[in-house]
Structure 1
Amino acid sequence: MAETERPTHPVSADDAWARTARDASGTTFFFDFDGVLSPITEDPESSRPVAGIPEVLDRLAGRVARVAIVSARPVTFLRTHFASLAHVDLFGLYGLEVWHEGQVVTKPAALSYEKPMERLAAAARAALQRPVEVEYKRLAVALHYRKDPARAAQVEKWALEQAEEHGLLIQRGRMVVELKPPVDQDKGMVITEGVRDAGCAWYFGDDMSDIKAFDALRAREAVDPAFFGMAVAVANNETGAEVSSAADLTLDSPTAVAKFLTAGLDRF
């Protein structure tokens, strides 16, 4: 586990846990899914949380004010792996969908894009074909080229053409290009709202979209010196350098995340 601490933060992960334990009732933990709680896989449908993650998140939810997963995945996907966790909130599609206390709430501005995205997914499968994986997410379409990285430029070009033609947004990630509705919503906005009444918050991420979440913690600290935010990166050879440089702490893998949380819970 490699650590990078900012001067305004505790000098070690141990001190960060100690501060968190002192304000457990005012603390929120946020986690990305892919690359953080689950290893990145060639087939996006085969992603699974690493051993111990559901259990440790359940324990954590019993110790702090809130635990939430903030992912590019739809809520339906997240529910298949975390349905047993009654006290963990799920933010799907960068916050376009939210699962909270037994209900899915969708941003009204995105609802009209369900059918257009379904058509777009069909068009992508016809135009790009395998081994490019087309992931239809109800309100978004992700184009994964991990199985054929040489086709990155082709996938990117096709996505940009579709975005321009249909007025969609582009989100880039780890060997994936995603087409999204033109709705102002990202992980940073989820965190900004989520920490409004918190005294402490942690965010664990591995990709470029997670940097906006880190920035949201910094912004809250800037206006409230009593607030403590901890940005944790998960190492990878694709976006790891950029994400780690924006974080306070870097962990080696999703398995290391599970071990780090388990050890941290012993400090409460």
Structure 2
Amino acid sequence: MAESARPSHPLSAAEAWEFTVARAKDTTFFFDFDGVLAPVADDPDAVHPVPQALDVLETLAGLVARVAIVSARPVSFLQSRFARLTHVDLYGLYGLEVLHEGEVVTEPAALPWVPAMADLAEQARAELPDAILVEYKRLSVALHYRTAPHLADQVERWGHEQAERLGLRIQRGRMVVELKPPVDQDKGMVISDAVLTAGCAWYFGDDMSDVKAFDALRAREALDPGFFGMCVAVANPETGAELSSAADLTLESPEAVARFLTDALPAFRG
């Protein structure tokens, strides 16, 4: 395939890899964390990336222009899980935080909301049932009902009441309702900015918030005939067919993501 000939969607994984390898030094890979590089668990603090992911991400980062993780997790959490990866950028809290070349930068507009988020976390622990896991992330509060799905409506109502009272935004995820500052930042905006100078980019996601990242790659393709974007969904019963229908390719698990990348590495080495 000629380097300048962008493949048309839909296309096979082999065709996508062929184009990507030819443009390796102009390519960025983006990954969500939970559900993509690590299995989802009842206790979010107990989640770790699948072992194969660590080695393949570091290797991949040495073969392409950039590898980045774009997550709802704080950068501090991501650092604790990827401490030995020296060439992978970390975007936390949907891009409100970013670690690049050893420096953590926080979106200034979000910083005044730190005290309100701390107070909200305490209020949630006091007012919501004990079965709801309240995760305080400094710049957001996530309300997990994975172990108590029958309480989903109650959590949704409480979240909407607090969002209206405080002027916050709501982000829904896999068995979670998250309250965030009213700052314009999401995964789609992260990707839109990050691919401005890229010729090729892949995004791996498992949740509805990742559709915005998929949309950003599609939008970039529409603006730049030389840009190629590949959207990969990691299947799960909680997001169902909606996420997969927005993707070019679907993989079945974080382990499958690691195998998929590992199997492609020899092609980069020629």
TM norm. shorter chain > 0.5: yes
Q: In angstroms, what is the RMSD of aligned CA positions?
A: 0.9
**Identity between Structure 1 and Structure 2 (%):** 69
Q: Does 1:240 align with 2:240?
A: yes
**Residue 10 of structure 1: CA displacement?**
6.4
Partner of 1:222: 222
Deviations, residues 93-150 of structure 1 (Å, cap 9, x unaligned) = 0000000111110000000111110110000001113211000000000000000000
Partner of 2:3: none
Partner of 1:81: 81
Report the AA paired with residue 175 of structure 1: M
Deviations, residues 175-232 of structure 1 (Å, cap 9, x unaligned) = 0000000000000000000100000000000100000000000000001111110000
Within-5 A mapping of 1:84-163: 84-163=84-163
- Cα separation, 1, equivalents of 2:184 and 2:262: 35
Q: Does 1:205 align with 2:205?
A: yes
- The answer to whether the 8 Å contact 2:11/2:248 transfers is no
Partner of 2:165: 165
Deviations, residues 66-113 of structure 1 (Å, cap 9, x unaligned) = 000000000000000111111100000000000011111000000011
- The answer to whether the 8 Å contact 1:27/1:199 transfers is yes
Determine helix, strand or coil for the equivalent of 1:267.
helix
Within-5 A mapping of 1:188-199: 188-199=188-199
Q: Does 1:16 align with 2:22?
A: no
- Cα separation, 2, equivalents of 1:10 and 1:182: 36
- Cα separation, 2, equivalents of 1:76 and 1:136: 12
Report the AA paired with residue 70 of structure 2: V
- The answer to whether the 8 Å contact 1:38/1:48 transfers is yes
Gaps of 5+ in 2: 1-6
In the comparison of the two structures, how many residue pairs are matched? 262
Within-5 A mapping of 1:25-36: 25-36=25-36
Partner of 1:267: 267
Report the AA paired with residue 123 of structure 2: A
**Residue 11 of structure 1: CA displacement?**
2.8
TM-score, with normalisation over the residues of structure 1? 0.96
Report the AA paired with residue 42 of structure 2: E
- Cα separation, 1, equivalents of 2:263 and 2:130: 42
- The answer to whether the 8 Å contact 1:234/1:254 transfers is yes
Deviations, residues 146-166 of structure 1 (Å, cap 9, x unaligned) = 000000000000000000000
Report the AA paired with residue 16 of structure 1: A
**Residue 240 of structure 1: CA displacement?**
3.0
- The answer to whether the 8 Å contact 1:233/1:240 transfers is no
**Residue 9 of structure 1: CA displacement?**
3.0
Report the AA paired with residue 115 of structure 1: P
TM-score, with normalisation over the residues of structure 2? 0.96
Report the AA paired with residue 127 of structure 1: E
Determine helix, strand or coil for the equivalent of 1:143.
strand
Runs of 4+ aligned structure 1 residues displaced above 6 Å come to: none
- Cα separation, 1, equivalents of 2:39 and 2:241: 17
- The answer to whether the 8 Å contact 1:207/1:240 transfers is no
- Cα separation, 2, equivalents of 1:191 and 1:249: 18
Report the AA paired with residue 107 of structure 2: K
- Cα separation, 1, equivalents of 2:43 and 2:178: 15
Determine helix, strand or coil for the equivalent of 1:202.
strand
- Cα separation, 1, equivalents of 2:215 and 2:11: 20
Report the AA paired with residue 154 of structure 2: Q
Partner of 2:183: 183
- Cα separation, 1, equivalents of 2:59 and 2:82: 13
Partner of 1:4: none
Partner of 1:44: 44
Gaps of 5+ in 1: 1-6
- The answer to whether the 8 Å contact 2:10/2:248 transfers is no
